[in-house]
Structure 1
Amino acid sequence: MPRSQSVLVPRVGQFKDTYHRIKRDKRFKDVTPIIFCEGDSWFSTPLSMNMLDWLVYAPPELEALGVPVFGAGGLFFRAEESGYHASANPKNPKASMFVPKNIHKLSGWYKHHEFDIVLLSAGGNDFVADFLDKTFKGLQPMSVSKAFREIEKSGKFKTVYEAYQAFVGAFLDIRPNVPILAHTYDYPRLLGKRAEFTVANLGAAAIFAKGTGPWIGDRIAHVLPDTKDQREFARMMMDGFTENVLMPVKKKFKTKGRFEFVDLRGILTKDTDWFDEMHPTGEGFRILAEVMRVRIGELLPEGKRMGVL
């Protein structure tokens, strides 16, 4: 057995009992980070080790050495689901994170447990797939800058910003001193490449699953037929999300609480870093997780930072 036993990994249903056991045990009470997680497929995709998996599980080589990932272990409340939108999802209302019903549900968990940090991964799904279909329906080929102006005209940035600020505001009302950490998305490279489920990456469930996507390339090919233009358009959307959603949310709450975000743009610059249009490979997620890990370590209470690598 590895010496560290570094991380406890319950899903929501197991969280409550484990939380109370940690709080009663002096060995773990003051050194175990309690971490709240809500997010999309960057925290939940089953295609490989996703970004949150790399934060939760010790890499095999470190586990073998007995090196802890988060101090004496971290307890993660994991509420993330693939395909969820930050704002209301018109096609599937249940797949919406920062809406009143879900905020109310998650606030119930949050107010009754002493979390040390909140991790968010949200907003990418709001700007792809059905949204792009609707935005560019019936339009003719255009320049990349004009295509991006169509995104701005849609009002989607404002919609996602309002959803973010509703969630962040509700959580800071409960615990203003607990940091909330989100992230940008890196720039997509494999425009038009769909995700393929195989037995190797999804297990036996792959027999019943169909490939998914593309979420971007095919949706805008009639207005931006050149793949290079599609890639530049995706890049502009990622920048727009950062500048029109994350930055304004941080500014709004700078005197009320601690909302931060990690900038992951421009890190995964090779096609081989990506599994499909929107998801890095397992190794790609590991690279991004290491950037997240550094900021998490800086934001955790001092006594709970000792194992952060």
Structure 2
Amino acid sequence: MPQSSALSQRGQFRAMYMGLKGQHALEHTPVILCEGDSWFSTPLAMNLLDWIVSPAPEDEARGVPQFGKGGLFFRVERSGDQAAPQAAHPGRSMFTEDNVDDLVGWFTRYRFDAVLLSAGGNDFVDTWLHDALAGRRGLSASQAFDAIVATGRYEEVREAYAFFVKTFHEARPDVPIIAHTYDYPRRIGSAAELGLRNLGAAALLKKSAGPWIGPNIETVIEGGIDAWREFTRHLIDGFVQRVLEPVKRNAAFGGMFDYADLRGQLTDDAQWNDEMHPTEAGFHQLAGVFRAKLISRLPLAKR
């Protein structure tokens, strides 16, 4: 199988694209724009996008869907970014007018075959979650979720998604835009395992290791770990039902927005590095599902 290339430096992408064009290789090489959060960018191990770009050698032998022609990936993802605009850190929001305009400039300049998104998880955790449940005690998982719904956060994230998809769809109506759900967290309250062993020198620079959920719900939701897991399941199901599904069903997008449903795949604590990020093996399993969805939406000559 031809080798894929993932290029985060824009000059490198331009050079590689023009090289493929000069060799008439773009006719069978998928060109994919990727924007996202830590599920696309975490340095803890091979993440979801890493496994899509560079699948394991044994995947093909096991019948896991593969790109038949390699691929060229334009990557601009960054850990910690949110989907919806945020006043406190406007530069850490993906679906803002400035960021979307910048990406659309690249999107219309080069012939992309698909857009991959990983966005929305960070919008419901950390300081936002703390503030949303501040002062509450003795809630059930369902009551805590109702409090989240009442904030209007899902509407904010849905509007942000719709803005991104609308802008890209109007620029290139023929290009599929594919997001993903998150899987249900299990290790609520567990921080990321950072160190030279799994991050190298980057461990010395990493500022946030979590946890991003546990400390904000453990004194609010009664019932311990089972109730906390139930609450996070509600959060993720709500993200699908109130954000991804409405955008997918929006007739204005002509069926070009879709998502890979990754829920219920990783049911063992050992498959999670911390409360929000799977291990390398966990991401590997999820990538097979996401890659299959992507391949199904590519032009036949590029699958």
- TM-score when normalising by structure 2: 0.94
Counterpart Cα distance in 2 of 1:29 and 1:107: 20
Q: Find out whether 1:77 has 2:74 as its counterpart.
A: yes
| 2:277 corresponds to | 279
Query: Cα deviation per residue 1:223-275 (whole Å; 9 max; x = unaligned)?
Result: 11412111100000000000000000011146535000111100101101100
Q: Distance in 1 between matches of 2:191 and 2:216?
A: 12
SS of residue matched to 1:295:
helix
Letter in 2 for 1:9: A
Quick one: distance in 1 between partners of 2:131 and 2:204?
32
Distance 2:197 2:72 in 1: 29
- Once structures 1 and 2 are overlaid, which stretch shifts more, 253-262 or 286-295? 253-262
Partner of 2:211: 214
SS in 1 for 2:5: coil
What SS does the aligned partner of 1:188 have?
coil
8 Å Cα contact 2:154-2:239 kept in structure 1: yes
Any gaps of 5 or more consecutive residues in structure 2? none
Q: Secondary structure at the match of 1:228?
A: helix
Residue 51 (structure 1) aligned with residue 44 (structure 2): no
Instruction: Give the aligned residue type for 1:292.
Output: F
Are residue 200 (structure 1) and residue 197 (structure 2) matched?
yes
Q: For residues 40-60 of structure 1, give each alpha carbon's deviation from its aligned partner in whole angstroms, at most 9, with x where no partner exists.
A: 000000001000000111424
Comparing 290-299 and 232-241, the one that deviates more = 290-299
Which contiguous aligned blocks of 4+ residues in structure 1 show a shift greater than 6 angstroms?
none
**Greater mean alpha carbon deviation, residues 209-218 or residues 280-289:** 209-218
Q: Say whether residues 1:38 and 2:35 are aligned partners.
A: yes
**Displacement, 1:142?**
1.0
What do you get for the CA RMSD once the two structures are aligned? 1.9
For residue 29 of structure 2, give the secondary structure of its aligned residue in structure 1: coil
Against the structure 1 CA distance between its residues 194 and 23, is the aligned structure 2 distance closer, same or farther, given a 3 Å change threshold?
A: same
Find out whether 1:173 has 2:170 as its counterpart.
yes
Alignment of 1:1-12 (within 5 A): 4-12=1-9
Q: How many residues align?
A: 299
Question: Structure 1: which amino acid aligns with 2:288?
Answer: E
Given that 2:41 and 2:47 are in contact with CA atoms closer than 8 Å, whether structure 1 keeps it comes out as yes
Identity %: 49
| Corresponding residue for residue 259 of structure 1 | 257
Summarize the Cα distance change of 1:164–1:68 in structure 2 as closer, same or farther, 3 Å threshold.
closer
Report if the CA contact (8 A) 1:41-1:82 is conserved. Answer: yes
Is the alpha carbon distance of 1:62 and 1:187 closer, same or farther for their aligned partners in structure 2, counting shifts above 3 Å? closer
* Cα distance in structure 2, aligned partners of 1:81 and 1:121: 10
Determine if contact 1:197/1:211 at 8 Å carries over to the other structure: no
Work out which of the residue numbers 81, 84, 87 in structure 2 matches 1:87.
84
Q: What is the TM-score with the length of structure 1 in the denominator? A: 0.92
Secondary structure of the corresponding residue to residue 9 of structure 1: strand
* 8 Å Cα contact 1:98/1:167 also seen in 2: yes
